[in-house]
A and B are shown apart, each in its own frame.
Chain A
Amino acid sequence: MEGYVHGLEWTTKQLFVYPNEFIYWSIQIVMYPLMTGLVAGAFVLSSLYHVFGQKDLKDMAKFALVFSLALLFGAPIPLMLHLQHWNRGFYIFFTPHFTSAISAFGIVFLSYMLIVIAEVWFVYRLFFIEQARALKGKEGLWNRFRWLLYSVWTLGAWDTSEKAQEVDHKAIKVLAGIGVPVAMFLHGYAGFIFGSVKANALWMTPLMPVIFIMSAIVSGVALCILTYIIIMEYKKHVKKKERAKARGIDATYEELRGAEVDVIRKTSRYLVAFMIAAFTLELLDLIFRGYTAVKNWEILRQVIYHRDFINIFVKQYLIGNILPFILLLWPRLTIRRAALATALVLFGVFMMRYNVVIGGQSFSLTFAGFMEYNLPIIPHNIETYKEGLFGALTTGALPFIFFYFINKVLPCVPEVVHVTGQAGMAESVLNLKRQAK
């Protein structure tokens, strides 16, 4: 009689390891805190505008909010995928066992989702009404479907008076205000899930939730900047093609670029601030462990300074922290440099998650042996797909696919107006400028 031993395929054991020890939590559990972190970060970024009145983030705020919603739909997927019985995942709602740090996940997650959806609703309420009115009576299945969709989404609140709009703004502010601590809680809580495992020498630290929150904001802001750049560049690329047809209006292209770089520069200042906080906390944790040097330090030291040296100090800190830090602080930040820096930051945060989740399992409970995770590349069964490269790519890509569809009904990136000669071009630039203000 033989079965399938979870973890056997991607775990290499060295020296003295208990027979039942394997890398049980693999790449999907790396993706899970990465994605909830992105949700929290994107939401905090949008709240900076709504709650703290950071006017320079206005352009980014709407985008970040909707993006956060898309990420939110994607965040539970790695959790579901890593379950041995994914079809029983909903038991957490039926029989939550509240001494477990995971059990409240459903409640925290759902309440956060309600807040985000409610905020999106208030932000888009006027848009729903406008669309529903404009689409009324229009021919075609798609138009009629959209009319129905937007009409339902108004939830019967058709009031567009000044007073009603004021209520909208107030509600947005309140929701964004509640949302910030809840977003922090959602992610700090993901940190608690790891930090409270007393059996794991690397994970167990009260700093874990705070470290997770800071790195979450870093990753969320970085992803927002990067995605924003990519979308804007793509649209510019489209414009460029159109301009080639209309000829002789290069100045408008430059103006577009100017508006964008402004947003990027302002947002990246917040990114740098949170990066410093995250880096400081992680360093504090490392120094504290080395200084106190309790029983488990010997094995941790070997993991941190020898076995995972490249992963931690080269990939995470040098490439993912210090390098982008310099790139962002170097004067006259360009879009290209910002794109590179934010991509590196995202890589750094991914490596941080990887080094926590996989690094925490790379030494044995015996403190006298090691385990190595060999990421399955080509899947040959469902397990090696889920817990391998393609599983991670799937969960990583889904939020962007969700965002594509959500953006279709809740447009949040500045639209490019189709150009018909010079007049049209001037108008479209005006539109973009207006949105940038």
Chain B
Amino acid sequence: MEIKRRDFLRVMGAAAAGATVGGLFRTLTPKEARAAVYATNKKRWIFLVDTHKCVGCGMCVRACKLENEVPYNDPVTRTWVERYVILKSGKAIQDTPMGGLNGYTADDPQGQKINSDDIAKAFFVPKLCNQCEKPPCVQVCPVGATFQTADGVVLVDRTWCIGCGYCIMACPYGARFFHPIYHTAEKCTFCYHRISKGLQPACVFACPFGARNIGDKKDPNDPVTKIVLTERVSVLKSEYGTSPQVFYLGLDENVR
């Protein structure tokens, strides 16, 4: 029997449609996916940086690298400290060599010798992942390897990340990078492995001056939450609509 082309196409079409409708995959809503991974949503982790207290010693950067096993001598880092020197002329000189890993011990921003009489103000700004309420990095991950936990922290699944770098491109804060050993997207997690056991993040623990603090936004008695609620705090780059959850005290207009 000769098979008519029309019949053949009809059968093939029906088979293709059947396979699609049969539903080989099921799409989970983000809520379902979150619920499947983490059941708790009793907390919302936030962070408070008091820039007035930071002296640029770099203890936090060193602690973070050791705690989270990011190769010590590689220039990438989960947290870093920036130095800002604002001259009387209005010119701003900023730098962050090795993310401030070795501490700022010489008066040489960007390798320049600055006359201290010319300086109007100078300060340090610690940076880390903002654990945004609306994280663009999570939005753009093509495979769902990075996700937001119910308590607000954005994590990366190293076993599922394909290493496309789209999340790195999407982060306006430069918080992400490829891990030099695992070659997957890497970022600050507020030391999720520690905070979920009641410990402080390594950087908070290491800071000798109390410039870094972690808190729970859902606990009104939390000292960090109290400050965020009652004092004038700011966030970085709010214009991107990411709703960052790292709050700053004493942020200058020059801070990038």
Give which listed residue, B4, B5, B96, B161, contacts A18 with CB less than 8 A.
B96
- Is A273 an interface residue when CB atoms closer than 8 A count as contact? no
- Is A263 an interface residue when CB atoms closer than 8 A count as contact? no
Q: Is the interface of A mostly helix, strand, loop or mixed?
A: loop
Does B71 lie within 8 Å of A1, measured CB to CB?
yes
Which residues of the partner chain B approach A402 to less than 8 Å between Cβ atoms? none
Which residues of the partner chain B approach A158 to less than 8 Å between Cβ atoms? 2
- With A6-B183, A199-B171 already in contact, the answer to whether A83 and B73 are too (CB < 8 A) is no
How extensive is the interface on chain A, given as a class? 35 or more
Nearest-Cβ distance from residue B162 to partner chain A, whole angstroms: 4
- With A100-B142, A105-B142 already in contact, the answer to whether A89 and B170 are too (CB < 8 A) is no
- Is B59 an interface residue when CB atoms closer than 8 A count as contact? no
Give the docked Cα–Cα distance between A259 and B94 (Å). 65
Instruction: State which of B45-53, B75-83, B213-221 sits at the interface with chain A.
Output: B75-83
Nearest-Cβ distance from residue B3 to partner chain A, whole angstroms: 5
Highest count of chain B CB atoms <10 Å: which of A16, A89, A91, A156: A16
Does A85 lie within 8 Å of B174, measured CB to CB?
no
Interface residues of A in 38-56 (CB under 8 A from B): none
- With A2-B180, A96-B143, A368-B94 already in contact, the answer to whether A16 and B99 are too (CB < 8 A) is no
Nearest-Cβ distance from residue A326 to partner chain B, whole angstroms: 37
Does A89 lie within 8 Å of B162, measured CB to CB?
yes
Which residues of the partner chain B approach A5 to less than 8 Å between Cβ atoms? 74-76, 177-178, 180
- Is B193 an interface residue when CB atoms closer than 8 A count as contact? no
- Is A367 an interface residue when CB atoms closer than 8 A count as contact? yes
How extensive is the interface on chain B, given as a class? 35 or more
Give which listed residue, B4, B176, B183, contacts A159 with CB less than 8 A.
B4
Interface residues of B in 125-184 (CB under 8 A from A): 127, 136, 138-145, 160-166, 168-181, 183-184
Give the docked Cα–Cα distance between A4 and B215 (Å). 34
- Is A101 an interface residue when CB atoms closer than 8 A count as contact? yes
- Is A381 an interface residue when CB atoms closer than 8 A count as contact? no
- Is A157 an interface residue when CB atoms closer than 8 A count as contact? yes
- With A24-B165, A156-B3 already in contact, the answer to whether A19 and B171 are too (CB < 8 A) is no
- With A3-B71, A5-B74, A95-B160 already in contact, the answer to whether A85 and B180 are too (CB < 8 A) is no
Does A20 lie within 8 Å of B174, measured CB to CB?
yes
- With A3-B74, A19-B76 already in contact, the answer to whether A103 and B143 are too (CB < 8 A) is yes
Give the docked Cα–Cα distance between A95 and B143 (Å). 5
Does A1 lie within 8 Å of B183, measured CB to CB?
no
Which residues of the partner chain B approach A88 to less than 8 Å between Cβ atoms? 143, 160-163
Give the docked Cα–Cα distance between A134 and B92 (Å). 79
Given A4-B183, A20-B176, 18 more A-B residue pairs with CB atoms under 8 Å apart are A1-B73, A3-B71, A3-B74, A4-B180, A19-B98, A19-B99, A24-B165, A84-B178, A94-B143, A102-B140, A102-B164, A103-B143, A158-B2, A197-B140, A198-B172, A199-B240, A366-B174, A368-B92
